[in-house]
Amino acid sequence: MGAIVSSLISSVGICASYCAYKSASQLCEACFGNSDVTSSGRKRSILLLVVNLALSLMFQNSWAPSIAGGNDITKIPYFGPRIKNSFNDGCVDVFPEQSEVIKCIGYAGVYRATFVSTVFFLIMSLAVANNPSVNRRAWPAKYTLCMLGLLVTFFIPNSPVFFSLYLWMARFGASLFLVIQQVILIDLAYSWNESWLQKSSEAESNEYGSGRKWLIAIVVAVVLLFGACFFSIISLYKQFSGCPTNDVLISVTLILILVLTGIQVTGEEGNLLTSAIMSSYAIYLVTLAISHNPNGQCNPFLENDGKLGIAVGIIITFISLVWTAWSWTDERVFTSKGMKENPSSGEENVQARPLDGLDIPFLEEQNNNVTGVVMEETESSSDWCDNELWKLNLVFALISTWITVILTGWGSVTSSGGTIDLWFIIISQWTAIGLYIWTLVAPRLFPDRDFS
């Protein structure tokens, strides 16, 4: 009788384990997606970045004060003291003020979370370059590995991995992303202008005079953006005047805005809306730069935590992230059988994307002019140069480094300022504006070449 009861209990246990496994598997697939051929994996990539951003904020604002005071995790036998020592490394023995120690520990948490996502996307970029299908497969396992990797970093001391090697890697990666972000915003601005012009033409063709509202909307957007730029310039002169460095940087930014706008209006390249958006972004960068000036006499926000700048940076980053991921491909062009169909040859009620045909930064435009059905390439036959997903993962890695620096003030613990951070941002601004000006003057200098 006892054997029968034991057997029944075992059977019930096996059934319960199986049900729990299936439930967990379905829950993971619902949250993180699956390896269906209709998926590109970009949504899960964005979700992973959002998760790491949330963890970074939690480590910085909740974890750091608690671990400095000795929370329950530090009381775990064997593991707790090692975790506390790892986070305290380079903080307790360097900074005399308790507030600086807590800030340093918070930065250590941010570095760990973003380090994991940066390394993950770099590895993904290399793997996807060899096999594009890797980008859509095994996302539950990828999330699990990332969380395990984050747990491992808890036992790694801050120096030199995080406070030296990764911090400088993040600074250079963030500087590069500032330039890439500028290109993304240029593409977004051109697409915005083209979209409203297209809507104006369509409305005008349906009813004479009805398209004028879209043209008025473009003019209003341009006036508001340029007005905000010059109001910001005046505010910067009032708030940050008194230092030659600040005055020069603000003046140079104003001159660059006037130059790029003048070049644009004197030619057929570009449009005022794009110039207005780029000018606004230049103002944001110079504000971010001079707010890191370590001279307290000309930086009234030196001791400020910079929460507004962090919020603005996260918003702009999210816009860039979504635009980069979604502008590259539309999942509606994939069928459940693993084939690509031109929407015009498939269901009649599928509407074309309004921005199809526009240039996508760093990601080659997909050719949607093919009719009929085209068989999908085998996973092993994709050419490295023709595979665009590796570029997407590389941009996600750079976004991880950018999140690192905007949450930690480019690594400055003693204050919100730092000369190195200031010049990193300013050089990125000059490079980005130079790229935009080049897109305006290159067709004039080389009229025989195709810059489309």
Residue 36 has pLDDT above 90, yes or no: no
SS3 334: strand
User: Which pLDDT value is given to residue 228?
Assistant: 92
Residue 416 has pLDDT above 50, yes or no: no
Tell whether 172 and 145 lie within a shared domain.
no
Among the residue ranges 52-66, 85-99, 123-137, 319-333, the one predicted with the least confidence is: 319-333
* Confidence check: pLDDT of 335 > 50: no
Identify the pLDDT of residue 269: 78
Residue 73 to residue 96: CA distance in whole angstroms? 24
| Higher local confidence (pLDDT), 129 or 382 | 129
Question: pLDDT (tens digit, 9 = 90+) per residue, 171-196?
Answer: 899 888 877 877 787 888 888 888 88
Closest C-alpha to 74, from 111, 107, 105, 115: 105
Range with the poorest average pLDDT among 112-116, 250-254, 298-302, 328-332: 328-332
Angle at 317 between CA 312 and CA 322, to 5 degrees: 130
pLDDT value at position 15? 55
Regarding whether 104 and 148 lie in a shared domain, the answer is: yes
CB 20 within 8 A of CB 12: no
Same domain, 80 and 190: no
Residues 179 and 119 grouped into a single domain: no
- Quick one: pLDDT band at residue 364, thresholds 50, 70, 90? very low
Expressed as residue numbers, the domain containing 61 is 36-161
Cα separations in angstroms, 391 against 7, 63, 121, 396: 55, 34, 10, 9
Q: 297 versus 89: which is more confidently predicted?
A: 89
Same domain, 413 and 312: yes
3-state secondary structure of 339: strand
Q: Cα separation of 155 and 280, whole Å? A: 43
Q: What's the chain's average pLDDT?
A: 76
Number of compact structural domains in the chain: 2
Whether residue 177 is contained in a domain is answered as yes
Return the number of other C-beta atoms located less than 10 Å from residue 315's C-beta. Answer: 10
- Show Cβ contacts of residue 390 under 8 Å, excluding neighbours closer than 6 positions: 125, 126, 128, 129, 384
> So what's the pLDDT on residue 73?
73
The residue among 127, 145, 161 that closes a domain is 161
Residue 343 has pLDDT above 70, yes or no: no
pLDDT value, residue 29: 53
What is the percent of the chain where pLDDT is above 70? 71
In a domain, 94, yes or no: yes
Residue 215 has pLDDT above 60, yes or no: yes
Of the residues 122, 143, 161, the one at which a domain ends? 161
Per-residue model confidence (pLDDT) at position 142: 93
Q: Do 117 and 227 lie in a common domain?
A: no
For residue 216, is it within any domain? yes
- Please tell me which residue, 431 or 321, carries the higher pLDDT value: 431
Backbone phi, psi, residue 364, to 5°: -65, 145
The residue-averaged pLDDT of 240-248 equals: 84
Q: Which of 131-135, 148-152, 352-356 has the lowest mean pLDDT?
A: 352-356
Q: What is the Cα–Cα distance from 323 to 308, expressed in whole angstroms?
A: 23
Q: Cβ distance 158 to 90 under 8 Å?
A: yes
pLDDT on residue 71: 66
The number of beta carbons lying within 10 Å of the beta carbon of residue 96 is 8
Residue 365 has pLDDT above 70, yes or no: no
Tally of residues, the chain: 452
Q: Amino acid identity of 3?
A: A
State whether 222 and 150 are in the same domain. Answer: no
Same domain, 184 and 151: no
Identify the band that residue 439 occupies on the pLDDT scale cut at 50, 70 and 90. confident
Let me know whether 66 and 93 are in one domain. Answer: yes
For 124, the token pair is: 């993904």
Q: Are residues 154 and 173 in the same domain?
A: no
CB atoms within 10 A of CB 365: 13
Tell whether pTM > 0.75.
no
Is the pLDDT at 35 greater than 50? The verdict is no
Tell me if 29 is assigned to some domain.
no
Q: What is the mean pLDDT of residues 402-431?
A: 78
In-domain check, residue 212:
yes
Tens of pLDDT, residue by residue over 79-130, are 888 888 888 888 887 787 888 888 888 899 999 999 999 999 999 999 988 8
Task: Note whether residue 110 is domain-resident.
Answer: yes
Pick from 115, 118, 104, 117: nearest CA to 60: 104
d(CA 84, CA 176): 33
Q: Based on the domain organization, do 250 and 321 belong to the same domain?
A: yes
Shared domain check, 281 and 199 = yes
Q: How far apart are CA 361 and CA 182, in angstroms?
A: 10
Residue 22 is assigned to a structural domain of this protein = no
